[in-house]
Amino acid sequence: MSATLPPAPSLARLAADDLRDGVLNPDLWLMLGWQDIRRRYRRSALGPFWLTLSMGAMIGGIGLVNSGLFNVGMGVLLPSMSLGIVVWTLISSSITDACMAFTGAEALIRQSRQPFSTYLLRLIWRNLIIFAHNMVIVVVVLAIWPPHGWWMLPLSLLGLALLLLNIGWICLLVGVVCTRFRDLPQIVTSVLQLLFFVTPIFWLPSQLAGLRKAIVDYNPLYHLLEVVRAPLLGAPVPALSWVWAVGMLVVGWALALYFFVSFRRRLPYWL
């Protein structure tokens, strides 16, 4: 009697195993992300703090100008703007890097059988390290102009967790699609530039009224930014921002997982 072969695992099971193995085995992506930072700033005395210094100078200069243009006090505009730029940099850098997450790791993918999620976690970790360096600017600004509602600060950790989970599905979706269509990274970069200018980073949401307020209300990246920024400013997070952040988390992961399950096995052939 011939032995029966076990059934082949389904595509959904293979994708789930990929994500599980990547998350539960952090040694590789933690090491790769840290190596990326060390390689980028090799022989540099300050390392990633060069980005922090240049960003701090930009925030100070633009804050001084915009404070006069918009007739807003530095103590109001600068904390909001510094947090906006630092959090936006985490979001935009992660999405931009995700466009090349798999194509940039082509040699590793062809030579080893590591989970694909490893390369996405690598870029998120790398940008989280830079985010931590840039938070030095926020600490300095908030030390000069401290927020009034200190009890709101713990909510920023919940907001950061929601932000990172949303960044996760965006990177997964963008990484898969951009591996197949090589023109999309330029489109993603252009869309991020547009969203940067219509997101209240250099200006305050309260400065828009009427129909123009829809630019803020229907801007998904603003809501992801606000669930982190508002508590650090001592302000309550708008209910609409929580709804957007949680809604995007559910719908986004469903969409990203659909693409990952459907096209995961084709990724090596698209490289």
Q: How far apart, in whole angstroms, are the C-alpha atoms of residue 257 and residue 253? A: 6
The per-residue pLDDT for 46 is: 66
pLDDT tens by residue, 71-95: 788 888 899 999 999 999 999 999 9
Determine the pLDDT at residue 34: 87
Of the pLDDT bands very low, low, confident and very high (cuts 50, 70, 90), residue 5 is very low
Q: What is the pLDDT of residue 44?
A: 66
pTM of the model: 0.90
For residue 209, the model assigns a pLDDT of 74
Question: In whole angstroms, how far apart are CA 29 and each of 45, 106, 250, 270?
Answer: 25, 15, 25, 22
| pLDDT of 167 | 96
CA distance 29 to 33: 6
Q: What is the DSSP string of the chain?
A: -PPPPPPPPPHHHHHHHHHHHHHH-HHHHHHHHHHHHHHHTTT-SSTTHHHHHHHHHHHHHHHHHHHHHTT--HHHHHHHHHHHHHHHHHHHHHHHHHTTTTTTTHHHHHH----THHHHHHHHHHHHHHHHHHHHHHHHHHHHS--S-GGGTTHHHHHHHHHHHHHHHHHHHHHHHHHH-TTHHHHHHHHHHHHHHHSTTSS-GGG--GGGGHHHHT-HHHHHHHHHHHHHTT-PPPHHHHHHHHHHHHHHHHHHHHHHHHHGGGHHHH-
Span 194-204, average pLDDT: 89
Q: Would you state the pLDDT for residue 158?
A: 94
- Mean pLDDT of the region 231-257: 94
CA distance 88 to 199: 9
Q: What is the reported pLDDT for 48?
A: 67
From residue 133, alpha-carbon distances to 62, 77, 115 in Å are 20, 21, 28
Of 66-75, 112-121, 216-225, the poorest mean pLDDT is in 66-75
Of 262 and 69, the structure prediction assigns the larger pLDDT to: 262
pLDDT at 53: 81
With beta carbons less than 8 A apart as the criterion, state whether 230 and 237 touch: yes
Tell me what percent of the residues of the chain surpass a pLDDT of 70. 94
Q: What is the pLDDT of residue 6?
A: 45
| For helices 26-40 and 11-24, angle between their N-to-C axes, nearest 10 degrees | 60
Average pLDDT, the chain: 87
According to the model, what pLDDT value does residue 2 have?
Answer: 47
pLDDT tens digit sequence for 29-73: 899 888 888 887 776 666 667 777 888 888 888 888 888 777 788
Where is average pLDDT lowest: 65-69, 103-107, 141-145, 201-205? Answer: 65-69
For residue range 138-166, list pLDDT tens digits in order: 999 988 888 877 777 888 999 999 999 99
DSSP code string of 79-121: HHHHHHHHHHHHHHHHHHHHTTTTTTTHHHHHH----THHHHH
147 CB-near residues (< 8 Å, 6+ apart): 79, 153, 232, 233, 234, 235
Task: Tell me the average pLDDT across 199-226.
Answer: 85
> Does pLDDT of 185 surpass 70?
yes
Task: Please answer whether residues 259 and 176 qualify as being in contact, where contact means their C-beta atoms are separated by less than 8 angstroms.
Answer: yes
Q: How far is CA 107 from CA 11, 101, 195, 208, 251, in A?
A: 24, 12, 33, 49, 33
